[in-house]
Amino acid sequence: MSELEKYIQTYFGVSNEELSKISAYFKPTTLKKNNYFSKEGRFCDKLGFVQSGIIREYVFIGDREITKWISTSGYFVVDLYSFVFQQRARWNIQALTDCELYVIDQKDYQQIGKVVARWAELEKLFIAKCFTILEDRVLTHLSMTAEERYNQLFNFNKELFNQVPLQYLASMLGMTPETLSRLRKKAAK
């Protein structure tokens, strides 16, 4: 069973038969370093699963780039607003390294509902799960200092700090690169 299938299995709990029908719609693709999966203002009409590599989601606020999220293997990448509502994308989604993705386009995605009767229900559950994760993220900004947020992320995923330019992690944590650098130094003692 592929990583993608394991992931779908775990998250959506479908039967083996349904699973293989669903995963057949996802096509293996590569995305070269610095290339974009989705761009602000365009339409994001596909959903990707990260098999390998690292992908950054960011947006320009004035002339600053704000990194919303870094996806590594096992994550889905999509501009949800664009994909679900057929509106213009809000995020730039760019490969930080060469990536292997499994990608499904909107047309095929809509076919899943015909194969798996309760698909809309499973989607609802998945998005609700994502919602609660985002709630937690808001809470970290309401209740924690920059130092606490750094320590939390570092303890959650130390590897990230070797793989991703620190300036992006700083932005994702809501602090400047200089502050992140100092917190790293402080924590290393």
Q: Which residues bind a second copy (CB under 8 A)?
A: 59, 61, 64, 66-68, 80-81, 84-85, 90, 118, 120-121, 123-125, 127-132, 134-135, 137-139, 141-143, 171-172, 174
Contact of residue 121 among a second copy, DNA, none (CB under 5-8 Å per partner type): a second copy
Contact of residue 146 among a second copy, DNA, none (CB under 5-8 Å per partner type): DNA
DSSP notation for 2-34: -HHHHHHHHHH---HHHHHHHHHH-EEEEE-TT
Nearer to DNA, 70 or 175 (CB): 175
User: To 10 degrees, what angle do helices 119-143 and 106-115 make?
Assistant: 120
**What does the alpha-carbon distance between residue 177 and residue 5 come to, in Å, rounded to a whole number?**
37
Cβ-proximal residues to 115 (8 Å cutoff; 6+ apart), any chain: 18, 21, 22
Closest contact distance (angstroms) between CB of 185 and DNA is: 4
Query: How many CA atoms lie within 13 Å of 139's alpha carbon, on the beta-carbon side?
Result: 7
Q: Which residues bind DNA (CB under 7 A)?
A: 145-147, 165-167, 174-185
Closest contact distance (angstroms) between CB of 115 and a second copy is: 15
Contact of residue 177 among DNA, a second copy, none (CB under 5-8 Å per partner type): DNA
Nearer to a second copy, 49 or 58 (CB): 58
Nearer to a second copy, 29 or 174 (CB): 174
Nearer to a second copy, 1 or 134 (CB): 134
29 burial level (CB within 10 Å; 0-12, 13-18, 19+): middle
CA angle 139, 140, 142 (to 5 degrees): 60
**What does the alpha-carbon distance between residue 139 and residue 124 come to, in Å, rounded to a whole number?**
23
Nearer to DNA, 158 or 185 (CB): 185
Closest contact distance (angstroms) between CB of 63 and a second copy is: 12
